[in-house]
Each structure stands twice: as structure tokens, then as C-alpha cells.
Amino acid sequence: MSVCILLGLLVEAWPRESTRVQRQSDASPYDKANLLSRLTIFYIQPLVSLAVQRTITPDDILNQMPGWMKEKTGRERLESEWDKNVAASSSPSLVRTVFWVQAGRIAPMYFLRVLVSCLMFTIPMLLSRLLESLQEAHVHGQTRKNLAYGLVLAGAMFAAAFAGTILKAVVRQKLLMQSLQTKVALTGMIYKKALKLSPASRSQSTTGEIVNHMSVDADVWQDGFYDMSSWLSLPVEIGFAMWLLYGLLGWSSFASIAALLLVAPLQVWRARVYNGMLKDKLTVMDERVRLTTEILAAIKIVKLYGWESAFKQRIMEVRGRELAALKRLGVIFAIMSIVFTSVTLVMSLLTLSVYAAWGGEGFSRGQLTPQTVFVSMTLFTMLRTPIGELSETVTNTINVIVGSNRIKRFLLLEEIGESSVSRDPAVPMDPTLSLVTIENASFSWTKQPPVVASIDQDLADALDDASQPLLQPSEEGNGSEQATTNWRPTLRHIQLSMARGSITSVVGRVGQGKSSLLSAILGEMYILQGHVSIRGRVAYVPQHAWILNASVKDNILFGQPYDESRYLQILYSSGLEPDLAILPAGDMTEIGERGINLSGGQKQRVSLARAAYADADIYLLDDPLSAVDAHVDRHLWKHLLGPEGMLKDKTRILVTHGIHHLKEVDKVVLVKDGEVAEHGTYQELMALRSVFYQLIKEYSISHRKAAAREDTGSMTGATLAGSAGTDNVESRSDGVMAGQAEESASSSDLDDDSSLAATIELSEEVDFPSNDNKTASDGKLVEAERIMEGTVNFTISLAYVRAATYKLAGLVVLFHVNSHGCLVATNLWLRYWIQNNDGTADDGNSNSHLTGGKGLSLKVFIGVFTILTAVYVLSCIIVIYVGFAIARIRASYTLHRDLISKIFRLPCSFFDTTPLGRIINRISSDLQGIDDRLPWAIDEVIYWGVRLTASVIIISASTPTFLIALPVFIVAVAVIQKYYLASSRAVKRIFHVSKSPVFQNFNETLGGVTTIRAMGLQERFKAGNVGLLLTHVNAHVAYSYCIRWVEVRLQFLSSLVILVVAVGFVVSAGKDMDPATAGLALSFTLSITQEINNLVRNYCETQNLLVSVERMCEYTDMETEAPETLPLDPRVEAAATWPPKHGAIEFVNYSTRYREGLDLVLRNVSFKVGAGEKIGIVGRTGAGKSSLTLALFRMIEAANGPWIHSSSSPDGSEATQEEEDDNLVGKIMIDGVDISTLGLSDLRRALAIIPQDPILFAGTIRDNLDPFQEHSDADLWEALDRSHLKAYIQTLPGGLSSEVISNGENFSVGQRSLICLGRALLRKTKVLVLDEATSAVDVETDELIQKTIRAEFKDRTLLTIAHRIKTVMDSDKILVLEQGRVVEFESPNVLLARKDGSLFYRLAEQSGEV
């Protein structure tokens, strides 16, 4: 049997990678490792050694996880068990579910954890025997038997210490991997839940909260199982120590138990208070992350409006509340320091004082011997760890419970009803069956029951008055709208069916429920009555095109297999070929986050191409044509969407504000006030002469032309209406009137062919620059996140200390030294007292009063002991309070303030090339590490550093022979630390970087949940999320291997120190050796094991946590935009000229580029705009229209201007002559003031813009109109009245104080556009830029808005960016751009008279305007 066991151990210990098959195996290093390698963590040695030779890259740490961690069965088991518990209980426990699922794997590790605790307490028992042997040698002299016995005891102490180290490392690593598997499973469950939230649940959980569930709440489990194991090991350790103390000190040890019982109520109080405070902190943190995420997602709008300071103040106000909660926690920690740092010294004071006074027989004074004192002090020192861990365990347990309960509440949120819509993915064999059927259904975004009587009465009123104007206060917006006083369902009594291969157009004004109808079909709303059925697969194109940060090709394929012929056909049908011709890498060009480097029209066409490639049976199209040019509109209609298009055999439901294609559709559905007011063919509805007929006739082309003639000299309705253009989400196409459709139906196809052919031909002949964010030739826009190399720069450490202030940092160090001075003085005082007592004891008077000769009174002994203990306790409290309630708060506040301030000041090019997930990673995970973990790590480094220094001094003074081994020991520790720091730091950086894609994926997914659900792609996205998580966890596993590696080696060295010191005393034992000195030295030697390990590990952990500071400083050290404010130039009397009084604009030889190293997007642009003139700006995609606007607001700076840091490209090469054209520095003048001499805030707040994307922020209506609180409520109501939204806002509870949820999702896109118009009306500026501003409103609303613009902006200079020529036909002048140059600048009539000699004429001809 013994031979078999030895043979088995030999085979197991044989190196695993000795054969070619083993070396080529794709198993992880852990799986390949033999037993010895796993016990000593040797399997990570190649990686650790590599880190010293060169910087570790992500490729070096691939495949570190054991195979069982990658298996999805473990993740699925947790999800399955949770579903069972949810079904069985109304309030299931997530914590219990996790433990139940992992019980089989963690139970053996918990048993080993208890065994390790028992093993570690054998060391004091061995020390007791060793000191007893040394005492005997001191009295009777050294003998060979004593020597042999002492050497055995020294060897046993070494073996026990090292064996405990090995087992503890194995247990910790195994439990960590179980915890990480649980973290991945929980994060996956959070992600899955986010894809299934109901409308009400989505309004309850913001993006910031969901991200926090993933980044903070799930993270509490990464050490959860090990922390929880302490509830088994700590009672064993405390009980073992008390039993050994009782064996040494008898009943006197009960004094230490009494001290523990005295502080127990403090522990209970602290747990209760900490729980509540932690919940408050996490709630405020959710709010901060949500607010920051929302603002940074719309940073371009914030900068255009000059709102940086207002939003920064909002973020800092929330951060202030978060830090106030953190400070309260610091105060709690200071109070509790009595428990987890001071209680063991208090226990030793009480116990030894009681023993000295009454510990002998018959309550006489006890005899304090070296064995009694220093073994008991060793036990008290060892007790500090479990007692300190008890407090930490309570904290960690509360963290796990609170985090798990937050996740539980999220997982228990209501899900979207799978049964609300009857779905059959198969198309029925019977061609007469409708693919989409809605039977008498009512829908709502909330669950409030409908009031049937009022619904019927409203419907009757609406039908009785056919001539009633369409524009009336709508009681519900489009989307998750707020409840009004008289609540009604969003959609009522819908009865519709869509036949196979038909195209149905849904029309109606803003906020009537058009988009809600599509959401109802998709099952995104509550169905209150009726039934919806879908037969076939669905593809969905949303109002806001949802674009992934991937290549154009990947966005179109969307995970489908590549079919070249179909792909090329779709590129042509969706009108993308001309765009791909000008993109730097064609269809392999990377699209930035949220489609940042594509125009709105390009994004929408990519979205259409994606839907077309999906080859679905049913297409739900939410106004995609509003975002494209007129000729592209016709091309898409002819080749993709219309009766002859690629999708002609598919069922199409098209929401639109345009009516020029309505004659060609099979059915028109008019939605009014949440009901289907009319439906039928175009001819049938016109024959009814009701609401639809009124809409067509009142807003035909002839009507608009008449209005234009009546209002000569002013902007016509087309000025802003036609600006319903390419880069927005809900508008009409050019030629939106049915009259045109009727008049030119037969000729439109020919026009389509010629216009698109002209566009494509021109694209091929001319070398277009890329669109506004041209990338490098490989098509990459977003660079890989930078991973720093080498040591964390000392300036990073100084940056943190400086943020906390040097004064506070010095106080912390000073009181740490003071507290440890008291601790060492206590041990020295005990030795001094023992030595005096020995003098008396040798005379045989063990119970003397110790007052004669060298003796001291008991009162003096206890008095000094008490004073030293009190000073120690007070110093500990001061250290914790100053460190965690003052210095930590100041450092966290300063670093966050500097980061947010700098982020708001970074140029737009930074946000174009940096995914939002990277920034969110810094303001959530990195900042949490700085708030919570870094201060503790620094405190631990100071604590263990001072304590180790004291121990080394004591041991060296007591054992001079130790000085011989000390240099060797120091060198060994330095080498281990070098290897560990090099590897762990590099892996930690990879760990941080690998988390950013997880954040980015979460944000992207949450923005496209409806599209993902509609197209049934949940499983694909869940798998992608798990892949990113496993990559991140793989880095965490590699990092944990590094920690275990250093623990085992340092503990081995520490065990050697124990062996060397113990052997030294055993060898030199005799009458000349003082046992008290030996006891003091051995006592400190036993503690040095823990001290060395904790110091090195905490030092390296501090270095690794400083990576978070380094990552924040990476952003705070970046170059910013020009200053927000600058002193006005006295030479031009700017104080009298700015803000501008007239609005005259002049571009002088102006050139610009988006980023250094890119081509110029505007080249030597020169033109003048008189005060009050109306200028139309036209040109093809990439001509520089949007660039001109950005230049006016200085979102991009003049090439070679004063605020350009360098004129050379990133690789150091100088710009070419073509890029420079000449050495002149261009400028833009407004009322004679060079805008480059102004501060950015001064400039931007003196201009007004109605942007393409109508962005709203979470808050109130008032906040969104006037974030600086500069206007009265009367002014705000007046602005809403003029933007035709006052009546609707008055119906909302709270009026101006009505809530706007994240991204304004409780308002329709059109209503958001009207609020943006209200912002412009509030700004009494002389310059207004209109960038396709009313594309998301209906024709009637658009007409009324034109009246507002003609009246309110008549004395302002207007620049209208037009993607549609009709928009600017009546402008004073037309500015035509081509390849970033001005090619024409004249009145429309002059340019049209030139005919073929004018680019404007050709553009107008292509658009069907001439």
C-alpha cells in the first residue's frame, strides 16, 4: 500500500509539459499543472519571469482560467436555480441561491480553511514548549537532550508555518475562482434581465443604475466566498486562542473574554449603521454614474450650448452627497478602530494585570515568566488578525448582502410580457392570411387601467368634428409618457391587419402615437385589451438609428453569414455605394460609438441595410426616409422600400411625416390622439374628404407656394420645414406634398434614375474627402486603449498625496509611528518588569511586592501599561479619523473634480475616438477603487511598514546573529517583490483595460434593446457579453495567481526567519542567555511572518490600485480646448461689440481639420454674411456643411490657429502643401470680433443653434430649457407657447417642474425638437444656426413653427444647413460647398439662372426642384 501511494505521488509530481502533446494542448496552465505545481503556484512562473524581461501584453495572459470556469453549465445552474426560487417564493434570497449552487465546490475549501486556522495556532503551542526549554537551560544549563528537543521544536514551527501558508493559498485561490464564476453568472443575469425589462421597469432602472449593478454590486462577490468562510474560521481561531490563554493564565484569561463582550454591542451597532449608510452611498453613486453617462453621451450638445459649468455643478453636487455618505462611514470606522486595531492590546492589559494581581493560587499575585508573558502576547498578537477580520468580515458580508439585494430587486423587476403578442416565426402557407393583425387592442406605456367611458366619448368627439385642426394639445407623448390628470391608454381600440407583401404607411402629427403603434406590434407596450398576432420574422428600423462601434460591414451583416451577391445588392438598394466610395476604408471603415463619424442619413441607411440583410418577413420602419436627401429618398423608395423595391414581397409598415409616397402605398393609417382616425387606400381617404383630405389639401405644394408669395422678403415655411433633413430621425422628405406625388407619379422613376446616377457618377469622378471625421486609411477610428508600461510613476503617488494634502498625510504617518512606538514600548516594559521579577523570583519569593532592589510596585507596572495602551488606542482613532474621514474625502473629491473638469474641457475629437465605456470605467470602477480600497491599502502599507521596522530592530537587538542573515533576507524579499510587482502591475493594467469593453457593450446594448428584441438576437448578444466578461475575468484570474505566487514565497522566507532565529536561541541557550530577551525576539519573529507578507502584498496592491489614479491622470494631463473665458481685446472695443449686436459674419481664408494628422475639411473658406441675412448652406455629403457650423462654434479650431498645439501630424511629419495651401492663419469674424480671441463659453453662449439631434436630459422641463436659471417662469412659458408646446406641458403634472426621464424618452422625438426650439427662443442672440431642426415634426406643426421663426428671428442672422434644396430656395443667399471649398455664394435666383454652370442648379435638378 505504501509503495502504491509513493508511486502515485511520484507520477502526480512528474512535470506535465514533458511531452509534445502536452505542450501543444490548449489546456490552461492550471489544468496542466501537477499537484506540487498547484500547491506552490509554480504554474504561473513563466508569466512572472516574462514580466521582468518585457511588458506583459493581453496575448500573454490568454487562457489562464481553468476549464471548469469557462463552462456555461455553472452559469446556467445559478440562473436555473434562481428561476426556481422566484417561482417558489415571493421574496427569494439571492445569497442563499448562490451558496446552494456552489455548495459542492466550496464545502471542502471551507473545511480546509478551518484546518488552516487550527494549524496556525499550533505555532504558539510550540513556542511555549521552546521557551520552557530555554528557561530550563537558563536555570540548569544546556544539555544535548535540550538541544535536540529545541531543534525539533524549531523545525516543527517552520513546518507548521509553511504548511499553513500552502493550504491557505490553495483555499483562497479556489474560493476566488468560484467567486469569479459567480460574478460572471450574476453579470450575465443582469445583462439578460436588461434585455427583458417591461416599459415600467425601464423607467425605474436608468443606464447608470444597471451599469452599477454590473460594476459594483456584482463585484462584491469576487471575494465573497472567502469572506464568508471567515464566519467558520474566526470562531475557531478566537476559541483556540482563548483555550491556549486559559492554559497559560488560568481563570485570568476570562478578562480578555470580558473585553470582547464589552465591545460586542459596538460591533452590532456598527453593522446596523453601516448597512444603512452603504445603501445611501450606493444610491447616490447610481445617480452620479447615470447623470455623468447621460451628459457625456450628449457632450457635443452640451458644448454647443455652453452648458459645461451648469452640468459640472450638477455632477459635483451629487458627488458631494456621495462623499458625505463616505465621510460618515469614515467616522464609523474611526469609532470601530477601538475594536479592530486596539482591542487586543486592551485585552492584554486587562488579562496580564489581572494575572499579575490575582492570577496565583488563592488569588495571590501571579508569576510572570517569559513563557507566560510572551506566549500570551504572541497569542494576543495573533488574535488581532481574527478580531480585525471580524470587523472586516462584517463589512464584507454587509457589502455582499446589500449588493445582492440590489441585484435581486433588479432581477425581480417586471419583464416584458412574452404572451402579450402571439408570435409565429413561420409564414403561413395560406397567402391570404395577414402577417400582422391587431384586433380591438388598447395599449399603454403604464399599467394603469383604462377608463373605457372616456375613451369612447373621446373617439366620438374626434370623429364628429372632421374639420377639427390636427394640432391640439396631445395628452400623451410618444414613448414612455408621463401620466396626465385624466389618464388614458396611449393607443385605443386599434383594429388593423397587414397583408403579406403589402406596404402600410402610418401618418399623423407629433405625439399622436405613430411610433407607439410599432412598439405595440413589437410587444414593447402593455396590452390592456384585444390581441396582436405576428406571423413571420421581424426586422425593425428605429427612429434613432442604432449603430454599433464596428465596421460598416459588421453593422450590416449583424452576425449573419456573409452572402456576397446579396450584400452587394443591398449596398446598392440602400444607396450606400456612393458613401462607401468616399469612406477611407470602404465598408471596412470603423464606425465610432453612436455612429459619431457618419451623418444622420448614412446612419439611417446602414440601419436600413441591416434590416434588409436580415431577410425578415415583416419590416417595421419608423420614419427612416426623413433622414436622407430627396434623391436618396427616391432611390430608397424605388430600389428598397417601394412597390418595385428589393423588399416588395415583404410586409412593410412605414411610419412617416412625409406624404409624397402615400399614393403608392397599399394602405394609409392616420393616427390621431392615440386612435386610428382613418385608414384605407390613398384614394379612399381622399374620397372621404375628412381629416386626411384636409391635411393633404391644406399643406400641398401649391398652398406653400402661395404662402411664400404672400410673405415675400421673409423665410417661407420651407426654410425650417424642409430642413427636415438628412441627419435626424422623424421628418418629411423633400417634396412632402401629395400634390406633387399626384402630378409627377409617372415621371418620378426617371428622375430617380438620373439623380442617383448623377450622384454616383460624380462620386466616382471626384476625389471626395471623407465625411466630417475622416480616419486613417485603414478605416480605424477608435484606437485600442493605451496600457501603460513599467512602474507606476512616482508622480502618480504624489498626485494622490497632494490631493489629500501633505499635511494630512504627514499626520497619518506620525500617529502610525506613535501608535507602534507605544506597542513596542509595551513589550519592552513587559520584558523590563519580567527581568526585575526574575531577580526576585530567583530568591524564591515569587509573591513579593516587587518593591525592593530592582523591584517595581504593581501599581507602577499597571499604570505605565495602561498609559501606553491608552495612547495607542487614541493614536489609532486619530489615524483612522484623519485618514478616512478627512484625507480620503479630500483626495477623492479633488481627483474626481479634476477629472470631470478636464473631461468637460477636452475637445470633441477626444469623444469621437474614445468609447463612452472607457470614460465610464474611470468614473465608476476606478473611482470606487480610489474611494474605498486605495486608502485602506496605503494605510496598511504604513501600518505594516512601521511594524516590520520595529520587529526587525527588536530581533536584531535581541539576536545579533540575525544581522548576518538580514542582508540575504532583504535581497531575497527585494527579488520576489521585483518579480511580483512587474507581473501583477502589468496584469492589473490589462484587467482595468479589459473592463472598458464590458461597459461599452452594456451601454450599446441598452441603447438598442428594442432592435435586439425585435430581431430576436438576444442569445447572440448575451453570448457576446459573456465572452467579454470571460476575457475580463481571465485577467483577474491571472492577477490572483500573481498574488498567490508572492504569498507562498514570502511566507516561505518568513518561515525561514522563524527557523533561523529559533535555532539561534536553541544553539546559544544556557545560563548566560536571558529567556525574556529570547521570548521578546521570538514573539516579534512570529509576527514578522505576517508583517512581511502583508507589507509586500499591500505595497504591491497599492501600486496596482494607483493604476486607477494613473488612468484618471491620463485624462487630466490631456490638452484641452481653448479657455472658457478670456479678457476682451481692447483694440477692437470688444466690450462694446460682444455679445454681437448685429450678427454680421465673415470667414477669412479659413481652413480647419478635425484632428491633427487628418486632411483639411474646410480649405481657404472666405465669404461675408450681412447682419440679418438668411443664408442657406448646401452641398453633398462630406462637402463640409456641418464642419462650417462646428467651426463657427469653435468645436474645431482653425488650422495653424493660436489654439492648435502642433501643425505636424502625429508621426512627426510636416503637413503637405496641399493641406496648408498657404501660411495664412484663417479667422472668423462676428461683428468685427475675431472669435479666436474669445473664451469658448463667451462665444458659444452668444450664439444659438437648433441641432440635428433633439437631446433632453434627465431633470425637469425647466432644467432643460434654462439650466443656469437665468429666466423667469413667464419667459419659459412664453418660449413654450411660441414653440407650440405650452398646451401640452400644461397638461403634465407639475408643469415646468414635470419630470424628464433619461434621454427624454417620455417625450416623442418631435416634442423634443420643439423643446430645442424653445431653447433657441430663450437665447436673445443675433446669430442662429438651424441644422435640419424640425425634421421630427409633422407638416402642420412645421407650418406653425415657420410663423414663429419669421416673427421671432426676423432680425437675426440665420444659417440654415440644408440637406434638401427646397429648404433654402427662398434664402437671401446660397453658400455651396464642395470638397471643403466655397464654390458658389449668390442668391438662389442668380445661381439657378446659370443652369448647368452652377453646382447649386445641378443639386436642385437632382432634387426635383427645377
pLDDT value at position 1005?
84
Summarize pLDDT for 1017-1076 with one digit per residue, the tens.
Answer: 888 888 888 888 888 888 889 988 988 898 888 888 888 888 888 887 888 776 677 777
Backbone phi, psi, residue 760, to 5°: -70, -40
The yes-or-no verdict on residue 1235 having pLDDT over 80 is yes
pLDDT value at position 1364?
63
Summarize pLDDT for 826-843 with one digit per residue, the tens.
Answer: 877 877 776 665 444 333
Whether the pTM exceeds 0.75: the reply is: no
Q: How confident is the model at residue 1345 (pLDDT cuts 50, 70, 90)?
A: low
Nearest-angstrom CA–CA distance, 172 and 185: 20
The yes-or-no verdict on residue 52 having pLDDT over 70 is yes
Asked if 840 and 850 touch (Cβ cutoff 8 Å), the reply is yes
Residues 6 or more apart whose Cβ sits within 8 Å of residue 1325: 1139, 1140, 1246, 1247, 1248, 1356
Average pLDDT, the chain: 77
Nearest-angstrom CA–CA distance, 539 and 709: 44
pLDDT value at position 13?
54
Listed residue (138, 157, 155) closest to 375, CA to CA: 157
pLDDT value at position 1151?
87
C-alpha distances (whole Å) from 1245 to each of 496, 795, 847, 886, 1388 are 49, 38, 88, 38, 31
Summarize pLDDT for 258-303 with one digit per residue, the tens.
Answer: 777 777 777 777 777 777 887 888 888 888 888 888 888 888 888 8
The yes-or-no verdict on residue 593 having pLDDT over 50 is yes
Owner of C-alpha cell 516574462: 50
Nearest-angstrom CA–CA distance, 707 and 711: 6
Summarize pLDDT for 124-178 with one digit per residue, the tens.
Answer: 888 878 888 887 777 777 677 778 888 888 889 888 888 888 888 889 889 998 8
pLDDT value at position 24?
66
Does the CA dihedral 1139-1144-1147-1148 come out positive or negative? negative
Q: How confident is the model at residue 782 (pLDDT cuts 50, 70, 90)?
A: low
Region label for 400, one of left (φ > 0), alpha (ψ between -120 and 50) or beta (otherwise): alpha
pLDDT value at position 894?
92
pLDDT value at position 1299?
79
**Please, what's the b/e burial string for 1346-1377 (b: 16 or more CB within 10 A of its CB; e: otherwise)?**
bebbbebbeebbbbbbbbbbbbbbbbbbbbbb
Which of 103-117, 201-215, 574-588, 1100-1114 holds the top average pLDDT? Answer: 103-117
pLDDT value at position 589?
81
1381-1386/503-507 β-pairing: unpaired
Lowest mean pLDDT across 61-70, 717-726, 769-778, 933-942: 717-726
The yes-or-no verdict on residue 893 having pLDDT over 90 is yes
pLDDT value at position 1333?
63
More confident residue, 776 or 392: 392
Residue range 799-819: mean pLDDT, rounded: 90
pLDDT value at position 869?
82
More confident residue, 1211 or 54: 54
Please count the other Cβ atoms lying within 10 Å of the Cβ belonging to residue 712.
8
Residue range 700-723: mean pLDDT, rounded: 38
Residue range 70-84: mean pLDDT, rounded: 82
Summarize pLDDT for 560-583 with one digit per residue, the tens.
Answer: 888 888 899 999 888 888 878 777
Residue 486, Cβ density class (10 Å: 0-12 exposed, 13-18 middle, ≥19 buried): exposed
Lowest mean pLDDT across 351-355, 629-633, 669-673, 1269-1273: 629-633
Q: How confident is the model at residue 1263 (pLDDT cuts 50, 70, 90)?
A: confident
Owner of C-alpha cell 503637405: 1216
pLDDT value at position 402?
86
Residue range 1101-1109: mean pLDDT, rounded: 84
Summarize pLDDT for 301-338 with one digit per residue, the tens.
Answer: 888 888 888 889 889 999 999 999 888 888 888 877 76
Q: How confident is the model at residue 728 (pLDDT cuts 50, 70, 90)?
A: very low
Nearest-angstrom CA–CA distance, 1224 and 1148: 10
Lowest mean pLDDT across 299-308, 697-706, 1081-1090, 1097-1106: 697-706
Nearest-angstrom CA–CA distance, 654 and 633: 13
Instruction: Give the containing element (helix H, strand E) for 323.
Output: helix 308-340
Nearest-angstrom CA–CA distance, 933 and 943: 15
Asked if 1077 and 369 touch (Cβ cutoff 8 Å), the reply is no
pLDDT value at position 1340?
63
Summarize pLDDT for 966-1025 with one digit per residue, the tens.
Answer: 788 888 888 888 888 888 888 888 888 888 788 788 878 888 888 888 888 888 888 888
More confident residue, 770 or 1141: 1141
Summarize pLDDT for 6-43 with one digit per residue, the tens.
Answer: 566 555 555 555 566 666 677 888 888 888 888 888 88
Summarize pLDDT for 533-561 with one digit per residue, the tens.
Answer: 888 889 999 877 888 888 888 888 888 88
Residue range 1251-1261: mean pLDDT, rounded: 79
Instruction: Give the containing element (helix H, strand E) for 344.
Output: helix 343-358
Q: How confident is the model at residue 477 (pLDDT cuts 50, 70, 90)?
A: very low
Listed in order, strand segments (DSSP E) in 595-674 are 618-622, 651-655, 667-672
Give percent above pLDDT 90 in the chain: 4
Beta bridge partners of 443: 491, 527
Q: What is the largest CA-CA distance in the chain?
A: 128
pLDDT value at position 900?
92
The yes-or-no verdict on residue 1118 having pLDDT over 80 is yes
The yes-or-no verdict on residue 1262 having pLDDT over 50 is yes
Summarize pLDDT for 429-441 with one digit per residue, the tens.
Answer: 878 888 889 888 8
C-alpha distances (whole Å) from 140 to each of 133, 136, 752 are 10, 6, 115
pLDDT value at position 1216?
43
Lowest mean pLDDT across 516-525, 776-785, 1104-1113, 1346-1355: 776-785
Does the CA dihedral 1023-1028-1029-1035 come out positive or negative? positive
The yes-or-no verdict on residue 1331 having pLDDT over 60 is yes
